[in-house]
């Protein structure tokens, strides 16, 4: 099929819920992708921070291929060796003791809130309130929508949710009481505009949760898996959550997610309280094991920290060059945001015209979340495209 036919067929049958660019992606290798017309792009978006090892990484391709030929799916009523291996490496990476595997970030966050509510109501029937932040993003199920700081119009959402400004400890303190079962936060806000809170704020949140016997949940769907230059973003502040959720980069491009807890919360759920047909299937676990062991063996955590600092400094040079157009550069590791004075969409489109893929979030923040394997040369290509875009916009 040619490009026109593919787009028309897709638009005919797919629900119109995505705003797509008129590009048909066909092939990926490393940090490069090609469309079906042969155009090559440097990808600094990585499928929304998903393709942590880039495209076609040989270890990941081999692991998934071999597992697919062996056993793709097995009910969680039975054990598999690959799940045992995946559980161990996730526990080691997260610093937690017990893991639940799901299929997407929303499922991971849903399960985390469900566990927190069971924890709360086991202590008092009114202890089910969950506090989260404005401009957050936690998923698109009804409960995760209720915890997400945006206006959605679906009628009543799940009750018991309260929103407060991100980074405002006084606002959180005003809402905290003994009916709160959990506080759910992103340790760095992603969709909201790559906002990095102070360590002090996260420490104060931890103290408030401890005071009111509420669980602290960190949504590390986007910030996890070496993205910020640590295995997980909470490790920058030293503030350890009670529940940590993960997804996106943990499967290197394969859909897999979940949440992790310490041993003291391991038995809040009893058999039958939670589950899922596909979560932790052998194919997903093979992807997780290959991704995490490769990140470790290739030393990508430290490399991300180094490359992220270089990338941020290059973006700051653009801020100095275009002080009226670039209002802020922020982020951590390879999760960076460049805030611009006007709309970000023209900059994204200009970069695409120069064969570089970036993203705009929150209207005016250019979000950069490339594969963890991006080279300095490729970083320079992205910065050059942004330079051209800023000059033209």
Residue 334 tokens read as 């390879």
Q: What pLDDT is recorded for position 346? A: 98
Q: How far apart are CA 208 and CA 205, in angstroms?
A: 5
Residues 264 and 225 sit within 8 Å (Cβ to Cβ):
no
Q: Nearest to residue 385, comparing CAs of 336, 349, 335, 333?
A: 349
3-state secondary structure of 107: helix
Residues 295 and 143 sit within 8 Å (Cβ to Cβ):
no
Alpha-carbon radius of gyration of the chain: 21
pLDDT over 80 (residue 388): yes
How much is the mean pLDDT over the chain?
Answer: 97
List, for residues 365-384, the tens digit of each pLDDT value.
999 999 999 999 999 999 99
3-state secondary structure of 75: coil
List, for residues 77-123, the tens digit of each pLDDT value.
999 999 999 999 999 999 999 999 999 999 999 999 999 999 999 99
Q: How far apart are CA 292 and CA 252, in angstroms?
A: 9
Residue 378 tokens read as 């490729």
Which residues, in sequence order, are CB contacts of 349 under 8 Å at separation 6+?
A: none
What's phi and psi for 199, nearest 5 deg? -60, -35
Strand order across the 359-361 sheet: 326-332, 335-340, 365-368, 359-361
End-to-end CA separation in angstroms for the chain: 35
What's phi and psi for 41, nearest 5 deg? -130, 145
Instruction: Write down the H helix ranges in 185-322.
Output: 199-211, 234-237, 282-297, 300-321
List, for residues 282-340, the tens digit of each pLDDT value.
999 999 999 999 999 999 999 999 999 999 999 999 999 999 999 999 999 999 999 99
Q: How far apart are CA 259 and CA 114, in angstroms?
A: 11
List, for residues 140-154, the tens digit of each pLDDT value.
999 999 999 777 778
Secondary structure letter of residue 263 according to DSSP: G
Mean pLDDT of 41-53: 98
pLDDT over 90 (residue 351): yes
List, for residues 227-263, the tens digit of each pLDDT value.
999 999 999 999 999 999 999 999 999 999 999 999 9
3-state helix, strand, coil in the chain (%, to 5): 40, 20, 40
Q: What pLDDT is recorded for position 234? A: 98
Q: How far apart are CA 109 and CA 215, in angstroms?
A: 13
Q: What pLDDT is recorded for position 235? A: 98
What is the CB neighbour count within 10 angstroms for residue 252? 29
pLDDT over 90 (residue 349): yes
Catalytic residues: 137, 219, 248
Instruction: Write down the H helix ranges in 188-260.
Output: 199-211, 234-237
Q: How far apart are CA 136 and CA 127, in angstroms?
A: 23
What is the maximum span of the chain, computed from C-alpha positions, in angstroms? 61
Q: What pLDDT is recorded for position 149? A: 75
Residue 43 tokens read as 């990808």
Q: Nearest to residue 198, comparing CAs of 330, 341, 103?
A: 330
What predicted TM-score, i.e. pTM, was given to this entire model?
A: 0.97
Q: How far apart are CA 385 and CA 393, in angstroms?
A: 12
Q: Which residues pair with 360 in a beta bridge?
A: 366
Q: Nearest to residue 94, comparing CAs of 208, 250, 207?
A: 250
List, for residues 57-66, the tens digit of each pLDDT value.
999 999 999 9
Q: What pLDDT is recorded for position 226? A: 98
Q: What pLDDT is recorded for position 213? A: 98
Give the pLDDT band of residue 157 (cuts 50, 70, 90): confident
Q: What pLDDT is recorded for position 154? A: 83
């Amino acid at each position: 099929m040619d490009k026109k036919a593919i787009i028309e067929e897709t638009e005919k049958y797919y629900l119109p819920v995505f705003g797509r660019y008129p590009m048909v992606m066909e092939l990926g290798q490393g940090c490069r992708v090609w469309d079906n017309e042969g155009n090559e792009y440097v990808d600094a978006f990585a499928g929304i921070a998903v393709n942590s090892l880039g495209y076609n990484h040989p270890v990941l391709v081999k692991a998934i291929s071999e597992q697919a030929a062996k056993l793709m799916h097995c009910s969680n009523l039975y054990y598999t060796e690959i799940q045992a291996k995946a559980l161990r490496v996730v526990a080691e990476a997260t610093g937690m003791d017990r893991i639940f595997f799901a299929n997407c970030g929303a499922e991971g966050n849903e399960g985390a809130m469900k566990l927190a509510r069971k924890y709360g109501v086991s202590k008092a029937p009114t202890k089910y309130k969950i506090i989260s932040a404005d401009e957050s993003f936690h998923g698109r199920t009804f409960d995760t929508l209720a915890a997400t700081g945006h206006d959605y119009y679906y009628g009543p959402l799940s009750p018991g949710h309260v929103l407060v400004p991100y980074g405002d400890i006084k606002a959180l303190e005003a809402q905290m009481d003994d009916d709160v079962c959990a506080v759910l936060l992103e340790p760095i806000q992603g969709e909201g505009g790559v906002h990095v809170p102070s360590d002090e704020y996260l420490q104060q949140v931890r103290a408030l949760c401890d005071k009111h016997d509420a669980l602290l949940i960190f949504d590390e769907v986007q910030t996890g898996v070496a993205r910020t230059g640590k295995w997980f973003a909470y490790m920058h502040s030293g503030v350890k959550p009670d529940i940590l959720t993960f997804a996106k980069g943990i499967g290197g491009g394969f859909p897999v997610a979940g949440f992790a807890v310490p041993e003291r919360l391991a038995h809040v759920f009893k058999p039958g309280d939670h589950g899922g047909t596909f979560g932790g299937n052998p194919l997903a676990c093979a992807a997780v094991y290959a991704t995490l062991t490769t990140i470790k063996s290739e030393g990508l955590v430290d490399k991300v920290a180094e490359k992220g600092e270089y990338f941020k400094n290059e973006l700051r040079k653009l801020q100095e060059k275009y002080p009226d157009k670039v209002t802020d550069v922020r982020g951590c590791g390879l999760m960076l945001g460049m805030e611009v004075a006007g709309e970000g969409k023209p900059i994204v489109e200009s970069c695409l015209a120069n064969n570089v893929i970036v993203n705009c979030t929150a209207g005016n923040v250019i979000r950069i979340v490339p594969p963890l394997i991006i080279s300095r040369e490729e970083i320079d290509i992205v910065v050059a495209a942004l330079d051209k875009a800023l000059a033209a916009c």
